[in-house]
Structure 1
Amino acid sequence: MTDLDAVAKPRTARLRADASRNRDRIVAAATEALVEFGPDVPLDEVARRAGVGNATLYRHFSDRGELVRQVALSVMARTAKRAEDALTEEPDAFAALYRFVFEAAEERIGALCPMLSEAFDREDPDVAGQAERMERAINAILDRAQRNGLLRPDIAVGDLMVAITQLTRPLPGTGCAGFDRFVHRHLQLFLDGLRAPARSVLVGTAATLEDLKAGRN
């Protein structure tokens, strides 16, 4: 290896690390901006929040659709990781469920879900892989709580995600400011209703994620 190669390799590694950090900042900024402004948020605003130039944004994401797709993948990956961590770190089965629900709410799923729906192409292997990972992790939490007799037996992952999505969605015209205090209150009410033994019989059958996908078609 020449002296020039020795200099070039660290420089290349630094450039790749800088590019990765810029990409992560853009995705994080886009997530926040989508929640605040909706799907038509100017990409200039995303670049400003990320602290990068427009050229840098377009170098990583050629169009709005690719950026929104990456936001969807990022949200699913973090949601799955939160479920996996809760299952591993919480010794009490219902405590794991409780922790996951409140942490999933922090991902602003309710506000983002309507805007990200077009990014969920089931033929996209990356999207399918993250969706499967997320479903597997959440199912593991529910299964453990049900086996321990702490969670009512007539719900499935689809029921849980519908509730989280609906309860974290801001009311029309209210924006997101100060909304968390209402979200946390109603998530707690919802979780109390999941405890076993159940006080009522639910109509219909437990909903899976496949049921939710079918309902969109």
Structure 2
Amino acid sequence: MRADAQHNREQILRAARQIFVHEGPDAPLDEIARRAGVGVATLYRRFPSREDLVHAVAVSTLQELYQAISHSVELEADPFEALRRAMHAALDLKIGAVMPSLFGRIEMNKLLGEAPDAVDPLQQLIIKAQEAALLRADVVPGDVIFMIIRLTRPLPGGRFPEDEALAHRQLEIYLDGLRPSAAWPRRQRLPGPAIGVIWFRRIRERMAGGSPATPPVTPPANPPAAARSD
């Protein structure tokens, strides 16, 4: 692909991601093209159908998330700081807003066949931080993933200019709560379900519109204490 064609493709995907967050995958394609700075004909050359665009947005979002986590590990020797960097990058990608907006329009199995699953490197990063005694031992991947989802959902009532900056501020407060020192005053384990990797993937499949044969989402008999548990 020529450099200008690649640039147009990236601009379209970026614009579509932003618009899907607020308007969903049925947003007008001409508005996406306008936001991307290209003509509608250019958009259709890159993505012949709306479903092609929706699928490409989902693939590129997961690819960028995986790259962000890998890049964070490369840049930060401290695994907790790598986790911090990765979580802030996930906020910038609006991962927890754009992906749920596409559920029902994408096939999760097909998607994960084309894009890397960022859950595994995230789990490994959590384990490293716990082994270095930099992250509290009762944190599991679901605690990180679902907080990102909550923080990347736009505030109701229209666009709030400070929304993104506020999410990053609140993430810093949450990160302080992930430190081992935050667990000491409690003198007990975290309440509620500890959602490990396997349980999260079942939830994700159900959220994306999995088949009726999908096993019911039920917690393990003994909720895991460490991130490496299922």
Q: Is the shorter-chain TM-score for this pair beyond 0.5, marking a shared fold?
A: yes
Q: Tell me if the contact between 1:35 and 1:111 (Cα under 8 Å) persists in the aligned partners.
A: yes
Task: Check whether the contact 1:154–1:205 (CA below 8 A) recurs between aligned residues.
Answer: no
**1:115 and 2:101 correspond:** yes
Residue aligning to 1:192: 176
Give 1:28's aligned residue. 14
1:176 Cα deviation (Å)?
A: 4.4
Name the Cα RMSD after superposition.
2.1
Q: Distance in 2 between matches of 1:123 and 1:109?
A: 18
Residue 69 of structure 1: how far off its partner (Å): 1.3
Kindly indicate whether residue 104 of structure 2 is the aligned counterpart of residue 127 of structure 1. Answer: no
1:208 counterpart = 2:196: yes
2:30 touches 2:40 (CA, 8 Å); kept in 1? yes
**Alpha-carbon distance between aligned partners in 1 of 2:138 and 2:116, rounded to the nearest angstrom:** 22
Shift of 1:119: 4.6
1:136 paired to 2:120: yes
Following superposition, the deviation at residue 62 of structure 1 comes to 2.0
Contact 2:24-2:102 at 8 Å conserved across structures: no
Moved more, 84-93 or 105-114: 105-114
Amino acid at match of 2:86: F
Q: Are positions 1:79 and 2:65 aligned together?
A: yes
Q: 1:43 to 1:209 in 2, by over 3 A?
A: farther
Q: Which residue of structure 2 lines up, in the alignment, with residue 153 of structure 1?
A: 137
Counterpart of 2:159 in structure 1 is 175
Number of residue equivalences? 201
Shift of 1:106: 0.6
Q: CA deviation at 1:148?
A: 0.3
CA distance in 2, matches of 1:170, 1:65: 24
Report the TM-score when normalising by structure 2. Answer: 0.78
Regions of 4+ moved over 6 Å? none
Deviations 1:11-45 (A, max 9, x none): xxxx7433322222211121122234333321001
Instruction: Name stretches of at least 5 consecutive residues in structure 1 with no aligned partner.
Output: 1-14
Cα distance, 1:149 vs. partner? 0.8
* Gap regions ≥5 residues in structure 2: 211-230
Identity %: 38
The answer to whether the 8 Å contact 1:97/1:141 transfers is yes
Q: Which has the higher helix share?
A: 1
State the 1:194 CA deviation.
0.9
> Structure 1 length as normaliser, TM-score?
0.82
Tell me if the contact between 1:120 and 1:127 (Cα under 8 Å) persists in the aligned partners.
no
After superposition, give the CA deviation of every residue in 1:177-210 in whole Å (9 maximum; x if it has no partner). 2102321221112111111142431124531343
Question: How far apart are residue 65 of structure 1 and its match?
Answer: 1.8
1:29 touches 1:46 (CA, 8 Å); kept in 2?
A: yes
8 Å CA contact 1:87–1:140 kept in 2: the answer is no
Cα distance change, pair 42–177 in 1 and its aligned pair in 2 (3 A): same
- Specify the alignment match of 1:5 in structure 2: none
Structure 1 counterpart SS, 2:191: coil
Distance in 1 between residues matched to 2:76 and 2:143, nearest whole Å: 22
